[in-house]
Amino acid sequence: MKQTQQTSQPSAGPPPIPQAVAFHVAVGGQSAGPYDMAGLKQQVQAAKITRETLVWKDGMSQWTAAGQVPELASLFGSTPPPIPK
């Protein structure tokens, strides 16, 4: 009888937990944050962040208006635009 050896490979373990998206926000000429999506939503609801507020996250080449960042579009979906003067 010939026995075959099975080589057991070490378990790779579970995949790493994805990191939450974190944005920095330009407020009064200074960087604030980072904020996760829940924190950003609270800031939008409190009218501290608007579509025009500059935001940045790791991987972005430059600060961009929040309304132009696809990931943040849902934050502004139900926020009405400013009332005309």
- pLDDT of 13 > 60? The answer is yes
Residues 6 or more apart whose CB falls under 8 angstroms from that of 53 comprise 25, 26, 27, 65, 66
- Whether the full predicted model's pTM is greater than 0.75, yes or no, is no
Check residue 18 and give its pLDDT. Answer: 59
Q: Which domains does the chain have, with CATH numbers?
A: 23-75 (3.30.1490)
**Residue 4: pLDDT band with limits 50, 70, 90:** low
Q: Which pLDDT score, from 0 to 100, does residue 76 have?
A: 84
